Amino acid sequence: MNDKVIVSRRTKMLFSLLISSKFLISSCLLFLSVAAHEDNDPELNMNTSQIIERWGYKAEVHTVTTEDGYILEMQRIPNGKKSVSWPNGKKPVVLMQHGLLACASDWVVNLPDQSAAYVFADAGFDVWLGNVRGTTYGRKHTTLDPKETPFWQFSWDEMAQYDLTAMVDHVLAMTGQDNLYYMGHSQGTLIMFTRLAKDTDGSFAKKIKRYFALAPIGSVKNIKGFLSYFAHKFSPEFDGWYDLFGSKDFLPDNWITKEASKDICGSSEKEAEKCDNELFLIAGPESNQWNASRTAVYSSQDPAGTSTQNIVHWMQMVRHGRVPAFDWGKKINKKKYGQDTPPEYDFSAIKGTKIHLYWSDDDWLGDPTDIHDFLLKELNPAVIAENVNLKNFNHLDFSWGLSATPEVYLPALKTCTDDYLGKS
């Protein structure tokens, strides 16, 4: 038996004990300190809308139901703090989509001049924040129960096909616009790439004026960290993974997560370092860009949850080397896809949308080798409007980093503004 491919029973047991011990230690720290420690930052107990309102912005909550019955909550910032007039009387619209294991709060957890949602709102944009199924704001369904396995039988395939489509259509219906600007981070780029790749008639692409892909994801063959490591430790069916993590939610955002983050992280730089290693297992090297006073807020919001099946799909991508649909096994693949193996998404088929790529050599998940060897080769050069290689950005810096505003948000904002005014 190849121990690099099939995890041993002993490894499963030790890994389970590690997880259990870590949880126990965190829980003990929490309950021992609850009487003595009261964090002064009220945002640790707030949801995304409450955080938005805390900073003096209006927040709206919208509910979207997908074609397959998932009920998603979206947040909207209809106005900024500055009065901005547009020639046609209609505001430009931007939809921001979070990444893997995250939620809409990623766009608002820093100070107003450091958070993408506030930066665009203050410039006069109608800002919408999306959330996909399985996150804090995507745990309802018209018929399925999130306590049961069937609710969690999804991956980013369904997020692209159903969630993204429903959110875009809802935003356009509510604003009366024909199209919008889209800013995606991490998995938020993957679902847009794959949705556009299947848009054979161009009906979806015409709704996206410009697409800003931050830490873009296509192939993940060369990524580093957690997903890459475990992708090669299990059988191709990932049975051992399901044994360890079950077949429902993976890293859920629950009260234990939130309460533990207050105690374990705190708000000082020294305390905040306690959160670093866990977050960087997926995101990459330690960041020099984060506001240490906000680290506890970051970790109180993320991880926001996803399905175990979605994590398996990411690891299938690592092993596959390109961008396949979810592999259900030969029998179900035959029924679902009409073939034994899952089909690949064809990125060269993407057309009709101008794409702006923002990536970094220091990103573990949006790996530069994958950017060069897959994304830049597969995408039609005609759709790449901009290709920006940033220095010293890890995967999370695109949403949390202090350099994100000057190097990403403001340039993207100028591009959108000029485009909307017909200057580009």
Question: What value does the CA radius of gyration of the chain take, rounded to a whole number of Å?
Answer: 21
Encoding tokens for residue 146? 């999130």
Q: Tell me which amino acid residue 359 is.
A: W
Q: Is 186 a catalytic residue?
A: yes
Q: Is 363 a catalytic residue?
A: yes
Listed residue (133, 139, 158) closest to 336, CA to CA: 158
* d(C-alpha 378, C-alpha 393), whole Å: 24
Choose among 214, 251, 299: nearest CA to 44. Answer: 299
Annotated active-site residue in 49, 105, 155, 186: 186
Task: Give the chain's length.
Answer: 424
Residue 188 and residue 212 in contact, taking contact as beta carbons nearer than 8 Å: no
- Angstrom distance (rounded) from CA 342 to CA 115: 38
Token pair 């995250």: residue: 102
Burial class (CB in 10 A: 0-12, 13-18, 19+), 154: buried
**What region does 329 belong to: left with phi over 0, alpha with psi -120 to 50, or beta?**
left
Cis peptide before 324 (omega within 30 of 0): no
Q: Which of 39, 163, 302, 363 is catalytic?
A: 363
User: What span, in angstroms and rounded, lies between the C-alpha atoms of 202 and 139?
Assistant: 31
Looking only at the bridges linking them, the beta strands covering 208-214 and 306-307 are unpaired
Measure the CA–CA gap between 169 and 184, rounded to whole angstroms.
Answer: 17
At residue 145, φ and ψ (nearest 5 deg) are: -100, 125
The position carrying tokens 């054979």 is 200
User: 186 near 365, Cβ under 8 Å?
Assistant: yes
Phi then psi for residue 157, to 5 deg, are -50, -55
DSSP labels, 384-411: EEEEEEESS--TTHHHH-TTHIIIIIHH
Which residues are known to be catalytic? 186, 363, 395
